[in-house]
Structure 1
Amino acid sequence: MDNRKHMRTEKKTAVKNSFGRLLATGIFVLIQVAWLAYLLLYFYRDYAWISLLSTFIAIILVLKIYGTSTNSAMKMPWIIVILAFPILGILIYLLFGRSIVTRNVKKRFNSIEESYKKSLSQDENILNEVKDKDIYIYNQFHYLSNHEGYPVYKNTDIEFYSIGEEGLEAQLKELEKAEKFIFMEYHAIEEASSFDRIKDVLIKKAAAGVEVRLFYDDVGSIFFLNKDFIKEMRANGIDCRVFNPIKLAFNMFMNNRDHRKITVIDGKVGFTGGYNLADEYFNITHPYGEWKDTGLKLTGDAVKTLTMLFLSMWNSIKKTDEPQDDYIKYIKASDYGYKAVNNNQYVVPYADSPLNNNRVAENVYLNVIKGAKHYLYITTPYLLITEEMSRELAMAAMRGVDVRIVTPGIPDKKLTYSLTRSYYADLVRYGVRIYEYTPGFIHAKQWVSDGEVSVVGTINMDFRSLYLHFENAAYVYGRETAADILNDFYNIFRRSEEVTDKYINKPRILRIGQCILRLVAPLF
């Protein structure tokens, strides 16, 4: 008997103003769309030229979408909607479908990111070491370093946390040691017991003269924070900013969210992983059964990239009249003569942005799949993937690689869960094994392959992470970290139900329904 439905013991709570604020924004946007649609339909009915004009615009827009460099799975839903319902389709696409933003916003973000990347340099000796060990890994690193601007580091100790609770305690311990600066960037922050512990340390450190900056995404935190949060932080000496706040206006950029999770302390220690700063991530509350998340602590040279990533986002949203950061000073804080205890591993912290066409997150995942020889294990809370990624996973399994994917046993979003399951059959028929995490919701985004390659970060296997969000992760080439993550996978498998056989021969009617859901997958 499946006991998972009995494990949801607590309801998710939200601050008082959050639902009203989100509802008001949604209503206002719908009113705008409805009003524009009404006007167009009114003229459409009485003036034949409006019909011809809307059809012409729809065709031009469809051709433009078709000609973009994005994946075809992202294009098809919009093409169908626009051709079937030209007026509404055009309006909805302009509001939700465009990953591009105004030219000035895009230019500012990309310009700052590229200029900050130039402050990082690649030690060619490190690349040559990797080249002598494994040419395929070298090619991966060459791509990340030379093409994307994310250096490969060696002088870095790496600690893996198999549960969010361990990561939180380690983070609190390191925050207490801060002497110069603390940078924190998270998709979601909740004013509750877990963040209260962090906040107490931040306030204490700010009072002692430590520079503290806190950065969060408005949509990610909207159910967790009240409207006075920023004022409270600033009153306590903490410089606080919100990314892309929701506005009561037609805003094409609001679909792009900051999904990154980064903490940097004095340029010496950095944290990243899947967990946000909210109670459910640390199993203080249990809205979806047991929450499973993971993270990494980096100590040493690789922290430079995390510092750069934070500052590039922080300064991309600053007001134009604010003084420019001396970002070089913060990045060079990592040059303090640290000697790694374990100097046998290589790590590349990297990021992805929806404001360029580089698609770093997707490329790294595809390269890991293509390079797998013996096994590839993956956890992801959502499995909404392109045909290309599905094909590469299938090809890996067909060439004898043991490919396993773990998804949640208890979902946080039922429709997205149905979409996730719609991809199972296409994978299992080629030998991919699928597990569902029985205790609850697995939110970790981690990969491990062949005892040497691992990736831990914020990047889900879905369209939003791969095409619409700002994301980050760490690619590690080393046996020690891979062994830690592999052991975690063995524990996950023991606590999960393998559902592979259930999806080999699904009823035809279910497949039809799932095909319909698959069509709209890029919208979720």
Structure 2
Amino acid sequence: MRFDWSTLGILLAITHLLGLIAACHAILNTRTSQGAIAWAVSLATMPYFTLVPYLFLGRSKFEGYADARRLRNETLRTRAHMPTWHPPGGPDDELANTGDWPVDELSTRVIRSFSQLAGMPLVAGNTVRTLVNGEVTFSAIFDAIEQARRYVIVQFFIVRADALGDMLKDTLLACAARGVRVLFLYDSIGSFDLPARYVHDLRAGGIEVHPFSAKRRFVNRFQLNFRNHRKIVVVDGERAFVGGHNVGVEYLGAKPPLSPWRDTHIEVRGPVVANIQFAFTEDWYWVTQELPGCEPPAVTQRVEPRVESRDSNDMHCLVMPTGPADRQETCSLFFVEAINAAKKRVWITTPYLVPDEAVFSALRLAALRGVDVRIMIPSRRDHFVVFEASTLYAYDAVRAGIRIFRYKPGFLHQKVVLIDDTAAAIGSANLDNRSFRLNFEIMVLTVHRGFAAEVEAMLQHDFEQAFEIDRGEYRDAHAWRKISMHVARLFAPIL
């Protein structure tokens, strides 16, 4: 058979035309100028290699979710019993005027910006405690589920059908057998290897199970780049668990060579639990087009602490749900504002150090104004490309006066931000572009000196098990390693 060169020419011309169309789409829709330039140049010059990846990885706006939120937002906030609120700091701000607003801890300006970013109020009258490893975390979660009376909400990015996954399944099935309603949401990509039998067993036991997928509608069929990275458990609207742990034995430290696994969760009690549950409600509505129907106890924005334990439940908390459906770069702006708010120190722990320019600039400026800026990252890697890119960013950070530590005992996966002696945020967001723009995340900011001291002690213990790096980590690396770092950083927009 004679090869038809004219057909090949037509195919090449069509491919280049599609590449140019995709390049125009990238310029108009990519959120960052760096990402737009990277995609546009590669699509225009190498469409054979980049056109298909762009279909799956090029989208940075989750428009389907945003449309659902925009159309149903008022209904959700009314029927999901969100506390009514207005931005703090105005002349009619009751909390600020009565002295219940923690302006001595964080300024009114900072509180206002956090509240505006989150679309949620800073809520008083809560109790928060740290859960510093997988055993403590899941012991507390299972204990709470076993005490559930009305409903249990479970949402994880990764769910594995291993020993821990089976324990969770058995606990939930026993809970449902008691007549407690159980709602279960997992990310379809993060839990891609979850067996169908696992889901079937849950549904057979009366549990409502759904995968969170960006492809729910035909128009979103290529939105594989968006992940729901949140980890949320809510019991009866009274207790909530948020943090970095997923469901898998590695989170219990049972997966060499990454073990022992270092992660942090928090248990939250009080009126702010309703706001954590609302973040789940938005995700559930996207998946099912129905409200979950689990109503938390009625709360108001201002809750008076109980006199008998005033020191333990007077914490102010703000829930920061972020994601690609937000109008602004909510997660990135949260980190920028947290860093800018620091007067004495800002300590951050993250498994992945791939900051965008805004966050990196805020870190450098904080170091220049004399703030103790420390970032703790792993010394072991779970993803080669991310680890190499993080190493290069760590070198740039050290050159800017930022102190970088590597945790030695095992893989560091916790996501913690400590601001001065006054506030700490713990949740699911990493210091990378994927958390900033591509993942649905949740952080809980707690403004309370006692809790900040607890987090400080926890991080001090971690720093004692870490070593500080200097410029030599990069300078002493082999030439091929340096090349791999720079190549890896080219993928920063999707890491």
Do they fold alike, i.e. is TM over 0.5?
A: yes
* Residue 168 of structure 2 corresponds to residue 198 of structure 1: yes
Q: Partner letter of residue 332 of structure 1?
A: A
Q: Which runs of 5+ in 2 are unaligned?
A: 87-92
Moved more, 109-118 or 301-310: 109-118
Question: How far apart are the structure 2 equivalents of 1:151 and 1:330?
Answer: 16
Say what the alpha-carbon RMSD is for the aligned residues. 3.0
* Residue 458 of structure 2 corresponds to residue 458 of structure 1: no
Higher helix proportion: 1
Question: How far apart are the structure 2 equivalents of 1:504 and 1:88?
Answer: 31
2:207 corresponding residue in structure 1: 238
Question: How far apart are the structure 1 equivalents of 2:203 and 2:11?
Answer: 56
SS where residue 292 of structure 1 aligns?
A: coil
* Residue 85 of structure 2 corresponds to residue 122 of structure 1: yes
SS where residue 261 of structure 2 aligns?
A: strand
Pairing partner for 1:94 from 55, 71, 74:
55
Tell me how far 1:421 sits from its aligned partner. Answer: 0.4
Does the aligned pair in 2 maintain the 1:43–1:50 contact within 8 Å? no
| Number of aligned residue pairs | 475
Q: Which runs of 5+ in 1 are unaligned?
A: 1-38
* CA spacing shift, 1:402–1:222, aligned 2, 3 Å: same
Question: How far apart are the structure 1 equivalents of 2:212 and 2:271?
Answer: 28
Q: Partner letter of residue 522 of structure 1?
A: P
Q: Deviations over 1:135-194 (max 9, x none)?
A: 854223222334542111111111111222211111122112110000011101122222
Q: Partner letter of residue 107 of structure 1?
A: D
* Residue 33 of structure 2 corresponds to residue 72 of structure 1: yes
Does the aligned pair in 2 maintain the 1:300–1:338 contact within 8 Å? no
Question: How far apart are the structure 1 equivalents of 2:105 and 2:460?
Answer: 29
Does the aligned pair in 2 maintain the 1:307–1:331 contact within 8 Å? no
Question: How far apart are the structure 2 equivalents of 1:198 and 1:59?
Answer: 45
Question: How far apart are the structure 2 equivalents of 1:407 and 1:48?
Answer: 45
* CA spacing shift, 1:63–1:212, aligned 2, 3 Å: closer
Question: How far apart are the structure 1 equivalents of 2:385 and 2:77?
Answer: 39
Question: How far apart are the structure 1 equivalents of 2:118 and 2:458?
Answer: 30
* CA spacing shift, 1:314–1:331, aligned 2, 3 Å: farther
SS where residue 470 of structure 1 aligns?
A: strand
Tell me how far 1:490 sits from its aligned partner. Answer: 0.9
Tell me how far 1:304 sits from its aligned partner. Answer: 0.5
Give TM-score scaled by structure 1 length: 0.83
Question: How far apart are the structure 2 equivalents of 1:245 and 1:370?
Answer: 33
Question: How far apart are the structure 2 equivalents of 1:141 and 1:293?
Answer: 27
Tell me how far 1:246 sits from its aligned partner. Answer: 7.9
Question: How far apart are the structure 2 equivalents of 1:87 and 1:206?
Answer: 51
Q: Deviations over 1:425-482 (max 9, x none)?
A: 2111121111111111100000112111211000011111111111101011111111
Q: Partner letter of residue 475 of structure 1?
A: L
Q: Partner letter of residue 71 of structure 2?
A: S
Does the aligned pair in 1 maintain the 2:126–2:314 contact within 8 Å? no
Does the aligned pair in 2 maintain the 1:131–1:137 contact within 8 Å? no
Question: How far apart are the structure 1 equivalents of 2:66 and 2:204?
Answer: 32
Does the aligned pair in 2 maintain the 1:44–1:50 contact within 8 Å? no
Question: How far apart are the structure 1 equivalents of 2:403 and 2:234?
Answer: 37
Moved more, 370-379 or 187-196: 187-196
* Residue 341 of structure 2 corresponds to residue 378 of structure 1: no
Matches within 5 A, 1:395-414: 395-414=365-384
SS where residue 431 of structure 2 aligns?
A: coil
Does the aligned pair in 2 maintain the 1:184–1:263 contact within 8 Å? yes
Does the aligned pair in 2 maintain the 1:77–1:522 contact within 8 Å? no
Question: How far apart are the structure 1 equivalents of 2:469 and 2:149?
Answer: 50
SS where residue 237 of structure 2 aligns?
A: coil
Give TM-score scaled by structure 2 length: 0.87
Question: How far apart are the structure 1 equivalents of 2:233 and 2:152?
Answer: 7
Does the aligned pair in 2 maintain the 1:127–1:141 contact within 8 Å? no
Moved more, 47-56 or 190-199: 47-56
SS where residue 355 of structure 1 aligns?
A: coil
Question: How far apart are the structure 1 equivalents of 2:283 and 2:102?
Answer: 36
